[in-house]
Copies of this chain bind each other. A is one copy, B any other.
Amino acid sequence: MTENQALERPLPLMPAAGHLTLSTGDTPVTAGPGCIDELKQIVGEAHVVDAPADVERRARVTIPRRKMPRAFVYPGSTAEVQQIVALANRHQILLWPCSTGRNWGYGAATPQVEGSLVVVLERIDRVLEVNEELAYAVIEPGVTYEQFNAYLKQHHPRLWIDCTDGPPNGSVLGNALERGIGETPNGDHFGCICGMEVVLPTGERIQTGGGAIDGLRTWNTHKWGTGPYLEGIFTQSNLGIVTKAGIWLMPEPEAYCSYIFEVYDAGRFPELVDTFRRLALQGVLQTKLHLINDVVLFTVLTQLKNENLGGQSFLTQTDIARLRDKYQVAPWAGGSGIYGTKDQVRYQKKVLRQELARFGRIEFMDRRKYHLVTALLPIVKRLRNNPTAKKLIDKTLRLTLKASVEMLEAAPRTYDILQGIPTEYFVSHAYFRSKMDKPFSKIDPAVDGCGLTWFAPILPLTVGDLVPFLDHCRQRFEAFGFNFYVAMLMMNARSIIALQAILFDRDKPDELERAEALYADLVSYLQGHGLQQYRTGVQCWDMLFDEAPEFLALNNKLKAALDPNNILSPGKCRIGAPQ
């Protein structure tokens, strides 16, 4: 099954009535054939995709609904982006720029307004500069994690990137502009952006920082520049198209190891939260530590269709207990990396062992162990083809390591990611409910019709905030017939993201509806409780800022000033949407 059957039926559209039409008229403006010809003249015929079937395929999403774009255009340079923006202003066409459009679970490349022209920046993909002495690079929006890591490994192996456990072919800048989070001490991706080049909605090219374009020596070393600090307004927004930016990198540390820990008793979660906060405020923990529940691990390690559950789509407590045992999964598991001089790493290991082992266990992985595991795993897997050997191996692993082969496989992937080497391994979780087998490479859950919506609330890092909230979410997930999937990502010493995936089978209309209803239910709870998502997707922009009308009004004022024709992603984060 290479094509997704569900998606051969058109997806339902978002209700457009009244809500997201343009202020310039009641019907959304779309590009006529003349415009498409002009576009082809700008970027070349090969770089405009307007055949409906192709457009449909490229516009696929993992979230329940989408809007169909008019066409996809792939400019090859900043100058071409400027020409496209000029064209859009001339003809009042709506543009929907995205870097690579692999923002699965938040909307991928789907625009907020039907008929928009999606401007994909993936061809603008050069690593323009690497400064080893000062550990930064200047890159274009089409640069992917995979490409960036490979480029550095080849030319500047002493510099490491920070990647996510998401798609390796996702855009580094795209993620940073959505203020995504990674893994290492450089995991606040927007926090590590320093210096942007932006094409404004009126077509001018500007550079942040307050210095001469292409001539400011601190452009990529001093984040705030001189004068107002403007970079923030180009994140989670629609005020410009970032065509270049500086990004801080990690110099290869003298020593590095990753670690995984397990929490055997879910009841000790509050104690764990207090430990995290204390260690982070002390500066011991500076990475974006991840803590995931059992359901997250199941989605990575297996697929529902392989677990003999009949048609059942919900794991009961009994099922969960069985899967925990089968894969040797704890109620909570976490992990991160340690970077520094040999002494620093030794000291941190000592502290983390003291602090985390008491919840269950902690295992460190260094280069030696990594090579051992990756060398042994293929052998073990081959031996396991024999059913008797399989039983014996699994039993041995369980007794000696308290682990499953599947869990052993995950550890080296974690070791890789924590040093900036991206992998598709964890992205495969999106196929947990899929009827197709998890693909081995070139994963595209949107094209493959997986159902996935991210709900990404952020909370103060306290027991008082987290415990009742997670209880509530778990209860809502279960009330809507979904298993509770939560990955806690430490944003900083004071805040943590409780990232939740709603995984659904989009072939089942009732499930698709329940997924949507659960999402709406969770979002409305946030608004009633003084909470917010650290990052949002197209699925919730109609509801955004209901509680912050002054904030929305201010953003709309900025939008009107910078984008008088409202051609750039109107409605993104609700900004520029008709009131």
A351 cross-chain contacts in B, Cβ below 8 A: 341, 343
* Inter-subunit contact A221/B190 (CB<8 Å): no
- A491 partner, pick from B222, B286, B350, beta carbons under 8 A: B222
* Inter-subunit contact B226/A235 (CB<8 Å): no
Q: Is A532 engaged at the interface, CB distance under 8 Å to the other chain?
A: yes
* Inter-subunit contact B230/A253 (CB<8 Å): no
* Inter-subunit contact B347/A344 (CB<8 Å): yes
* Inter-subunit contact B216/A545 (CB<8 Å): no
Cα A133 to Cα B286 in complex, Å, equals: 18
* Inter-subunit contact B493/A135 (CB<8 Å): yes
* Inter-subunit contact A340/B282 (CB<8 Å): yes
Q: Tell whether A210 pairs with B495 under 8 Å between CB atoms, given A228-B232, A460-B134, A544-B227.
A: no
Q: Is A575 engaged at the interface, CB distance under 8 Å to the other chain?
A: yes
User: Interface on chain A toward B: helix, strand, loop, or mixed SS?
Assistant: loop
A253 cross-chain contacts in B, Cβ below 8 A: 282
Q: Tell whether A210 pairs with B545 under 8 Å between CB atoms, given A218-B458, A229-B235, A286-B283.
A: yes
Return A257 CB to nearest CB of chain B, in Å.
15
Query: Which A528-563 residues have a C-beta within 8 angstroms of B?
Result: 529-536, 544-545, 547-548, 550-551, 553-555, 557-558, 560-562
* Inter-subunit contact A230/B228 (CB<8 Å): no
Complex: chain B residue closest to A227, CB-CB = B573
Cα A534 to Cα B495 in complex, Å, equals: 29
A222 cross-chain contacts in B, Cβ below 8 A: 458, 491-492, 494-495, 534
- A532 partner, pick from B200, B210, B282, beta carbons under 8 A: B210
Q: Is A423 engaged at the interface, CB distance under 8 Å to the other chain?
A: no
* Inter-subunit contact B237/A228 (CB<8 Å): yes
- A221 partner, pick from B179, B461, B575, beta carbons under 8 A: B461
* Inter-subunit contact B229/A233 (CB<8 Å): yes
A561 cross-chain contacts in B, Cβ below 8 A: 557-558, 560-561
Q: What 0/1 readout, one digit per residue, does chain A (409-422) give for beta carbons within 8 Å of chain B? A: 00000000000000
Chain A interface residues toward B at CB < 8 A: 133-136, 179, 185, 190, 194, 200, 204-213, 215-218, 220-237, 239, 248, 251, 253-254, 277, 281-284, 286, 339-341, 343-344, 347, 350-351, 458-462, 465, 491-495, 527, 529-536, 544-545, 547-548, 550-551, 553-555, 557-558, 560-562, 573-575
